[in-house]
């Protein structure tokens, strides 16, 4: 899995504790994009790790009840959840049955 160095900057202001999550390192550096698909009775669950089409990095984010005509259609529809700019050939796909 991806390794991150996480530090917390904690300070007290007006009797409230403020905590900033600081991630060291560039999360936009080239990391593998992974789409995992899990078949359920209600459809497919997709779990994605990588950069989204909007430029945000997500880790193991899920989308539920994805349907398609065949597995290739399910892969395309699942990936569209995280951005239409993402290309299937740029993503490692793991299908769990």
Q: Is residue 39 part of a domain?
A: yes
- Phi-psi bin for 12: left (phi > 0), alpha (psi -120 to 50), beta? beta
Paired sense of beta strands 57-66 and 43-51, if any = antiparallel
The residue among 31 and 92 whose pLDDT is bigger is: 92
What is the value of pTM for the model shown? 0.67
Q: What is the rounded average pLDDT of the residues 63-83?
A: 94
Over residues 25-40, mean pLDDT: 77
Residue-level pLDDT at 34: 94
The reply to whether 81 falls in a domain is yes
Residue 21 belongs to some domain of the structure? no
pLDDT at 18 over 70: no
Domain span including residue 64: 27-96
Average pLDDT estimate for 29-58: 88
pLDDT at residue 23 in the model: 45
Residue 4 lies in a domain: no
User: Angle at the Cα of 65 (from 64 to 67), degrees rounded to 5?
Assistant: 130
């Amino acid at each position: 899995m991806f390794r991150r160095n996480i530090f917390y900057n904690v300070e007290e202001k007006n009797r409230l504790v403020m905590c900033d999550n600081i991630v060291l390192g560039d999360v936009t550096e080239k990391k593998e994009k992974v789409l995992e698909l899990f078949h359920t009775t209600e459809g497919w669950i997709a779990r994605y790790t990588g950069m989204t089409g909007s430029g945000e990095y997500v880790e193991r984010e899920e989308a539920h009840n994805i349907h398609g005509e065949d597995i290739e259609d399910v892969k395309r529809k699942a990936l569209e959840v995280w951005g239409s700019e993402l290309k299937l050939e740029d993503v490692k796909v793991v299908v769990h049955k």
